[in-house]
């Protein structure tokens, strides 16, 4: 089958039971998407499927043919961080960093559907992503900051 990941096409043979997470990490070496719970409870494996957030651990790879898949590797580059990545760094919105890719992907989906969120919108929109380190207040500030940065960039 053909997967479109971060704008690149990949031909991959997958069995019907393989998760998208397993294919991303094991076959395509895109290791930014993390396996934590493997049960869709933590959000660390969040990716975007046609712009909508999805848990890659619960998504069958075979169901993703023809779907635009975006992982954390598709969000920015080391030289040109995405506004969310930069805001997470600026607000120290991480400790161990293991949940950060999923947090950023969930935030990207939130800002796509609501470019001017309130603090409550961010808290609700990010509720499917857990952080064992408890960086939630900084994550909320980072998402709000990124929203302002993106709005400024759209207006420029």
Question: Two tokens at 28?
Answer: 């395509």
DSSP lists the bridge partners of residue 10 as 3
Range of the domain at 117: 83-155
DSSP lists the bridge partners of residue 52 as 49
Mean pLDDT per segment of 10 residues, for the chain of length 156 residues? 97 94 97 95 97 98 96 95 97 94 98 97 96 95 98 86
pLDDT (tens digit per residue) in 111-154: 999 999 999 999 999 999 999 999 999 999 999 999 999 999 98
Name residues whose C-beta falls within 8 Å of residue 90's C-beta, 6 or more positions apart in sequence. 142, 145
71 exposure class (CB count in 10 Å sphere: 0-12, 13-18, 19+): buried
Whether residue 68 is found in the same domain as residue 106: no
CATH number at residue 141: 1.10.150.120
Domain boundary among 74, 99, 115: 74
- What pLDDT score does 155 carry? 86
Whether residue 20 is found in the same domain as residue 66: yes
- What pLDDT score does 50 carry? 98
Domain boundary among 33, 50, 74: 74
Name residues whose C-beta falls within 8 Å of residue 120's C-beta, 6 or more positions apart in sequence. none
Whether residue 68 is found in the same domain as residue 132: no
Number of folded domains that form the chain = 2
Domain boundary among 34, 54, 74: 74
CATH number at residue 30: 3.10.20.30
Distance CA 32, CA 77 (A): 13
Q: Pseudo-torsion of CA 117, 119, 123, 124, nearest 10°?
A: -50
Of 14, 103, 107, the residue nearest 64 (C-alpha): 14
User: Is pTM, for the whole model, over 0.85?
Assistant: yes
Whether residue 124 is found in the same domain as residue 90: yes
């Amino acid at each position: 089958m053909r997967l479109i990941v971060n704008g690149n096409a990949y031909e991959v043979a997958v069995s019907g039971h393989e998760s998208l997470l397993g294919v991303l990490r094991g076959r395509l070496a895109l290791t930014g998407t993390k396996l934590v719970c493997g049960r869709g409870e933590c959000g660390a494996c969040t990716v975007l499927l046609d712009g909508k957030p999805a848990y890659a651990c619960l998504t069958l790879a075979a169901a993703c043919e023809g779907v635009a898949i975006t992982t954390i590797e598709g969000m920015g580059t080391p030289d040109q961080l995405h506004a969310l990545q930069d805001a997470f760094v600026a607000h120290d919105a991480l400790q161990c960093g293991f949940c950060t890719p999923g947090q950023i992907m969930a935030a990207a989906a939130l800002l796509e559907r609501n470019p001017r969120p309130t603090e409550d919108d961010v808290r609700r929109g990010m509720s499917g992503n857990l952080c064992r380190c408890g960086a939630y207040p900084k994550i909320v500030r980072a998402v709000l900051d990124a929203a302002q940065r993106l709005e400024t960039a759209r207006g420029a």
